[in-house]
Chain A
Amino acid sequence: MGQTLILGLIAGGIYGLFALGIVLVYRGSGTLNFAQGEIGTMGLFVAFMLVERAHLPWLAGAAVAIAAAAAVGIAFERLIVRLMLNATRVAVAVGSVGLLMFLLAVELKIFSASPRTLRAPIGGVGKEILGVVVSPTHVLSLVVTVVVALGLAWMLKKTDFGLGVLAAAQDPVAVRLVGVPLARVSAFVWGAGAAVSALAALLVEPTVSVFTPGFASELFLRGLAAAVVGGLTSLPGAFVGGLVVGVVEAGAGRVFAASSLPGLKSLTVLVLILAVLLVRPRGLVAGLKSKEEAA
């Protein structure tokens, strides 16, 4: 029981991090960036090249990876999203599918589908808590997740720019009136969303030790589930949603451990999303009732 909970929370923190990035883009741009996960995988490949091939310190590799991810997010915003101010939000999301496909194809072309390994940020075996070996990386990932979540929350609630981000999709005119340039809000959410994905991918990576193209897109799906559980518009909701997805997934794995059906975790995610949409479409953590939603 305790073991399941700890495993679930460790995984869930990562999902929550992905979900924060998703909610950020949704609040700032009114759409979803389906490439967000794969930008994270790209970050892993960058870090892999620098750390494992060029033998740079882990921190340097991670920093460059996150910066590269942010650059891809901002470039996409500049080159594609900005052209689509008058297009439907669905069309923008389809554009991000193009980016996802592009990153996947390039990764496959350069690195092929064979698994790669990136070392953990901190070595050491770790301590046993309630029968689970919790590695230093696990602790680090939880700490970073909480710090990033709190930092984002502070930035969004306490600064004018942050308030502009929160209001951008709902009331662009008001945002302009407060003096926050919408273009910068848009660039920020796409860049930050991508950077957070890379960060999340770097932190989860050592717990499963290997990755291939498409690796973080699978985690991104859990992030989507978490964001849906949290109501898509709520940052605390996204974080809590991540923990819920993590724990439910781990719990299902335990309850159905004897089942012969493979891949139970992905089936659980599907069922969880459908159940939340059916029972509490505004999310388990109630989101905002926006004017647009009501109309």
Chain B
Amino acid sequence: MKRSRTLTMIALLVVFAAVPPLAGRAGFLTDYWALLMGLAVCYAAAGLSLNLLMGYAGQISLGHFALLGVGAFTSGILSGANRLGLPFIVAILGAAVMGGLIAFLIGLPALRLRGLYLAVVTIALSYAAEQSVFRSSFISGGSSGMELPRPMIGSFVLTRNADFLAVMLVLLLVLWAVDVNVTRSKLGRAFQAIRTNEAVAASFGVDVTRYKLLAFVISGAFAGVAGAMYGHLYQFVNSESFGYQKSLLLVIIVVLGGLGSRSGVSTAAVFYALFPVAMIKAFGTGFHGTDLIVGSLLLMYTIARYPGGLAESMREGREKRAVKAVRKAAQAEAQGAPSDEPDVMPRLPEMPRPSGLAARKAEPPGTPLLSVRDVSVSFGGLKAVDRASLDVSRGKIVGLIGPNGAGKTTLFNAISGLIRPDAGSVHLLGQDISRLPAHARAMAGMGRTFQLIGLAKDLSVTQNLLLAQHVVAGYGVASALTRIGKAAKIEGELEQRASDALEALGFERFANTPVKNLSHGQQRIVELGCVLLTAPELVMLDEPSAGMAPGAAENLAVRLRDVRDELGRTVLLIEHNIPLVLDVCDELYVLSSGEMLAHGAPEEVVHRADVIDAYLGEAVSV
């Protein structure tokens, strides 16, 4: 299969390089239409660029054409006859580097923060570029604009548009291939996890800020190439070539084409490059601008009705039908077999320790693993957690109970690094991790689940199992983008583990199903499988039995003991299901109004008067 992909690429390369020049010479492709098709290729490249940022990573840029401008002017300065006069290929590479660099510089302050700051910064960039930077005499020759040369092969200059179109198509193919590599690597999974849920991404070890920035930098490099192509195609650019409105048009292209869909976005880009011209040709200039009116209305409709993009909703429809069919078939096949009960958790697989992690010292059970000291968290004036301390020893299952609003999940978030406590310390394996961000704590050996399921719910089960192995995907960005070096080999290992886990969980038939289409109990099983996949030192579970049938909860108790006794993991568990807690826990902590109320053996703790008073309400009879 890999081989066929490479062959397809080579075949396309040859076709793209050969067809336009031949068609041009044979008279099938006039210079005018070649120019228009060149514009379409530019838009497609720009669309891929914005799609990578918006469709994959869920961040918006409203000034993307400014980055195209950066590419065009850079390329012009590098290759221009009266500028540096460097070869075309150097100019294109320079445009990519500069596009990425500017993206890095303006993305760094904006992407550390959550929310819409990147949109704000990119609007500002768009105006600053159009009105100031691109008009400076050093960069563009001031108001007169800048001329860009066509590339040369030997002494042959590609003055014909059809000839240059071939070059552009080849460049687009390169961008396309890189984009495919992004989606097939940990980068694409990290981007999509960030788009779905930043906290979940971080708990799987994804450095959210770094990956958001990476998405913008790659997107900026793509934009640089797209802009350079635009410049060399028209052989002239000025500050007005890269205005705010074009950036907005690009947003329309990406949303209508379908967020995250390469082919959809490219199609929409080609349409928006060719359609207005064709309509004006057919119906006269009265049609001018109508494409934008229709496009913007469609954008509002599409985003309101199908916020994930048209492509996604189509894909989803297909998959939902497929899941239904699979369910029906499974029911018909094995009537009444208890193992097909969706909520019942199968025996969890013992996965070999991932090769990317350092070999663990064989420490005996009972040695201290997690130590939380005097942690306090407040929101505004409200103290959610007040000087709470707890210890977890290796090889134990430790329960954390308390009434709703006692601060259990907040304490969990403070331990796993999702919120920064006002005071207190957290030590894992004797190492102070109080200052580490969530993703670094995941790397240090913490795995956790969430009350509302800590998975990237838009992604398939397999994709989640791959995402969960982010901490052991030890290859670099360059290798991921080119698929040269370690990336291919390591991805192969990850895929193998994912498919082993699928099999062990008995979820093969849901391999490509988006997690959100599974039942709650099934999602819970996948989540646990994901967390255990990288064998974390400490497994933190936030109400795993919530929403499960009573029978399933008993089954859960068995599996939790498996996790402790057979997989040798340590568990910290938030639970409301007291019978389950009494059944599996070695020790129990009770949190009430943010303060640690009691600690001890489960049987003793639940019979203490203050615990009954604060939480249980009545004596527990066991």
Partners in one complex: yes
Binding site for B on A (CB under 8 A): 31-32, 34, 79-80, 83-84, 87-91, 93-95, 97-102, 104-106, 108-109, 214, 217-218, 221, 224-225, 228, 260-267, 269-270, 273-275, 277-278, 281, 288-291, 293-295
Q: Which of B285-337 contact A (CB under 8 A)?
A: 288-290, 292-293, 295-297, 299-300, 303-305, 307
CB pairs A–B below 8 angstroms (8 shown): A34-B62, A34-B123, A263-B131, A264-B132, A270-B121, A270-B127, A281-B112, A291-B380
Instruction: Verify if B419 is at the interface (C-beta below 8 Å from A).
Output: yes
Tell me if B299 and A270 are in contact (CB < 8 A): no
Chain B, residues 576-615, CB within 8 Å of chain A (1/0): the string is 0000000000000000000000000000000000000000
Identity of the chain A residue whose Cβ is nearest the Cβ of B382 in the assembled complex: A291
Give 20 A-B pairs besides A80-B304, A281-B113, A295-B418 with Cβ atoms closer than 8 angstroms: A32-B119, A79-B300, A80-B300, A83-B305, A89-B115, A89-B116, A94-B299, A98-B300, A102-B293, A105-B296, A225-B124, A263-B128, A267-B131, A267-B133, A274-B121, A278-B108, A289-B379, A290-B380, A291-B379, A294-B420
Tell me if A104 and B245 are in contact (CB < 8 A): yes
Chain B, residues 59-84, CB within 8 Å of chain A (1/0): the string is 11010000000000000000000000
User: Count of chain B residues with Cβ under 8 Å from any Cβ of A?
Assistant: 59
Residues of A with C-beta under 8 A to B120: 32, 224-225, 228, 273
Q: How far is the CA of A109 from the CA of B115 in the complex (A)?
A: 34
Instruction: Verify if B58 is at the interface (C-beta below 8 Å from A).
Output: yes
Chain B, residues 333-368, CB within 8 Å of chain A (1/0): the string is 000000000000000000000000000000000000
Identity of the chain B residue whose Cβ is nearest the Cβ of A105 in the assembled complex: B292
A118 → chain B closest CB, angstroms: 23
Tell me if B133 and A101 are in contact (CB < 8 A): no
Chain B, residues 25-56, CB within 8 Å of chain A (1/0): the string is 00000000000000000000000000000100
Residues of A with C-beta under 8 A to B305: 83
Residues of B with C-beta under 8 A to A269: 124, 127-128
Q: How far is the CA of A295 from the CA of B127 in the complex (A)?
A: 34
The main secondary structure of chain A at its interface with chain B is: helix
A214 → chain B closest CB, angstroms: 7
Tell me if B303 and A277 are in contact (CB < 8 A): no
Instruction: Verify if B125 is at the interface (C-beta below 8 Å from A).
Output: yes
A90 → chain B closest CB, angstroms: 6
Identity of the chain B residue whose Cβ is nearest the Cβ of A81 in the assembled complex: B304
Residues of A with C-beta under 8 A to B296: 98-102, 105
Identity of the chain A residue whose Cβ is nearest the Cβ of B122 in the assembled complex: A270
Instruction: Verify if B251 is at the interface (C-beta below 8 Å from A).
Output: yes
Q: How far is the CA of A221 from the CA of B108 in the complex (A)?
A: 20
Tell me if A277 and B293 are in contact (CB < 8 A): no
Instruction: Verify if B268 is at the interface (C-beta below 8 Å from A).
Output: no
Contact with B380, one of A224, A225, A277, A288 (Cβ below 8 angstroms): A288
A95 → chain B closest CB, angstroms: 5
Tell me if B136 and A261 are in contact (CB < 8 A): yes
Q: Which of B241-263 contact A (CB under 8 A)?
A: 244-245, 248-249, 251-252, 255
Q: How far is the CA of A90 from the CA of B494 in the complex (A)?
A: 32
B450 → chain A closest CB, angstroms: 11
Tell me if A263 and B300 are in contact (CB < 8 A): no
Q: Which of B361-381 contact A (CB under 8 A)?
A: 379-380
Q: Which of A79, A90, A98, A288: most chain B Cβ within 10 A?
A: A98
Q: How far is the CA of A73 from the CA of B307 in the complex (A)?
A: 20
Tell me if A93 and B116 are in contact (CB < 8 A): yes
Identity of the chain B residue whose Cβ is nearest the Cβ of A281 in the assembled complex: B113
Instruction: Verify if B106 is at the interface (C-beta below 8 Å from A).
Output: yes
Residues of B with C-beta under 8 A to A97: 60, 62, 248, 251, 299
Instruction: Verify if B114 is at the interface (C-beta below 8 Å from A).
Output: yes
Q: How far is the CA of A282 from the CA of B58 in the complex (A)?
A: 22
Q: A105 and B289 in contact (CB under 8 A), knowing A88-B307, A93-B116, A98-B303?
A: yes
Q: Which of B271-292 contact A (CB under 8 A)?
A: 288-290, 292
Contact with A102, one of B54, B109, B297 (Cβ below 8 angstroms): B297
Tell me if B199 and A295 are in contact (CB < 8 A): yes
Identity of the chain B residue whose Cβ is nearest the Cβ of A271 in the assembled complex: B128
Residues of A with C-beta under 8 A to B176: none
Q: How far is the CA of A95 from the CA of B304 in the complex (A)?
A: 7
Instruction: Verify if B135 is at the interface (C-beta below 8 Å from A).
Output: yes
Residues of A with C-beta under 8 A to B303: 80, 84, 87, 91, 94-95, 98
Tell me if A262 and B135 are in contact (CB < 8 A): yes
Residues of B with C-beta under 8 A to A84: 303-304, 307
Contact with A267, one of B54, B128, B142, B292 (Cβ below 8 angstroms): B128
Tell me if A295 and B413 are in contact (CB < 8 A): yes
Q: How far is the CA of A273 from the CA of B420 in the complex (A)?
A: 26
Instruction: Verify if B96 is at the interface (C-beta below 8 Å from A).
Output: no
Residues of A with C-beta under 8 A to B418: 295
Instruction: Verify if B117 is at the interface (C-beta below 8 Å from A).
Output: yes
Tell me if A101 and B299 are in contact (CB < 8 A): yes
Q: How far is the CA of A212 from the CA of B588 in the complex (A)?
A: 69
Identity of the chain A residue whose Cβ is nearest the Cβ of B286 in the assembled complex: A109
Instruction: Verify if B137 is at the interface (C-beta below 8 Å from A).
Output: yes
Instruction: Verify if B528 is at the interface (C-beta below 8 Å from A).
Output: no
Instruction: Verify if B468 is at the interface (C-beta below 8 Å from A).
Output: no
Q: How far is the CA of A250 from the CA of B114 in the complex (A)?
A: 31
Residues of A with C-beta under 8 A to B62: 34, 97
Contact with A98, one of B113, B125, B127, B299 (Cβ below 8 angstroms): B299
A267 → chain B closest CB, angstroms: 4
Instruction: Verify if B110 is at the interface (C-beta below 8 Å from A).
Output: yes
Tell me if A293 and B252 are in contact (CB < 8 A): no
Tell me if A228 and B117 are in contact (CB < 8 A): yes
Q: How far is the CA of A164 from the CA of B58 in the complex (A)?
A: 29
Residues of B with C-beta under 8 A to A99: 296, 300
Contact with B289, one of A80, A109, A262, A275 (Cβ below 8 angstroms): A109
A242 → chain B closest CB, angstroms: 15
Contact with A277, one of B54, B117, B132, B136 (Cβ below 8 angstroms): B117
Q: Which of B129-144 contact A (CB under 8 A)?
A: 130-133, 135-137, 142
Residues of A with C-beta under 8 A to B115: 89
Tell me if B109 and A278 are in contact (CB < 8 A): yes
Residues of B with C-beta under 8 A to A277: 109-110, 112-113, 117, 121
Residues of B with C-beta under 8 A to A266: 124, 127-128, 130-132
Identity of the chain B residue whose Cβ is nearest the Cβ of A224 in the assembled complex: B120
Chain B, residues 233-245, CB within 8 Å of chain A (1/0): the string is 0000000000011
B549 → chain A closest CB, angstroms: 27
Residues of B with C-beta under 8 A to A88: 58, 307
Residues of A with C-beta under 8 A to B106: 270, 274
Contact with B132, one of A95, A262, A274, A293 (Cβ below 8 angstroms): A262
Q: How far is the CA of A266 from the CA of B244 in the complex (A)?
A: 13
Residues of B with C-beta under 8 A to A101: 245, 248-249, 251-252, 292, 295-296, 299
B596 → chain A closest CB, angstroms: 21
Tell me if A221 and B124 are in contact (CB < 8 A): yes
B235 → chain A closest CB, angstroms: 24
Q: How far is the CA of A267 from the CA of B126 in the complex (A)?
A: 10
Q: How far is the CA of A265 from the CA of B133 in the complex (A)?
A: 11
Q: A221 and B127 in contact (CB under 8 A), knowing A101-B248, A260-B137, A277-B121?
A: yes
Identity of the chain B residue whose Cβ is nearest the Cβ of A31 in the assembled complex: B116
Q: Which of B124, B132, B289, B290: most chain A Cβ within 10 A?
A: B124
Identity of the chain A residue whose Cβ is nearest the Cβ of B111 in the assembled complex: A277
Residues of A with C-beta under 8 A to B290: 109
Identity of the chain B residue whose Cβ is nearest the Cβ of A225 in the assembled complex: B124
Identity of the chain A residue whose Cβ is nearest the Cβ of B120 in the assembled complex: A224
A87 → chain B closest CB, angstroms: 4
Q: How far is the CA of A154 from the CA of B121 in the complex (A)?
A: 31
B107 → chain A closest CB, angstroms: 10
